[in-house]
Amino acid sequence: DTAVSQTPKYLVTQMGNDKSIKCEQNLGHDTMYWYKQDSKKFLKIMFSYNNKELIINETVPNRFSPKSPDKAHLNLHINSLELGDSAVYFCASSQTWENSALHFGNGTRLTVT
């Protein structure tokens, strides 16, 4: 009965491919996020989305696009994958837009070869 679930857990693909990672939360939270954790463990926010407003971190390449069919889902689509995209991607949700605890999914380890 996972609160924030993301699939797949592992994703191995070649450069140039397009891939998607799915995320669902059953907590009834208003806001969802995507974070990237690199090899040095640094957690960097990519997107936040609260059903009406999408905020994109300006450093995220436009090859990355979030798609939210409804409040409980925020999927991540990546075009033209590059070696530097290899990382662990975490989906998260929070009850409100402002200053509330993040609940993370278990992560998707993306390896681009």
- When asked if residue 50 is in the footprint of other proteins (CB under 8 A), the reply is yes
- When asked if residue 72 is in the footprint of other proteins (CB under 8 A), the reply is no
- Pick out residues in 15-34 that bind other proteins (CB under 8 A): 31, 33
CA distances from 31 to 1, 28, 49, 101, 112 (A): 20, 9, 6, 11, 29
- When asked if residue 102 is in the footprint of other proteins (CB under 8 A), the reply is yes
Q: Which residues contact 97 (CB under 8 A, 6 or more apart)?
A: 30, 31, 48, 50
Q: Which residues of the chain form contacts with other proteins (CB under 8 A)?
A: 31, 33, 40-45, 47-48, 50, 53, 55-57, 90, 96-99, 101-107
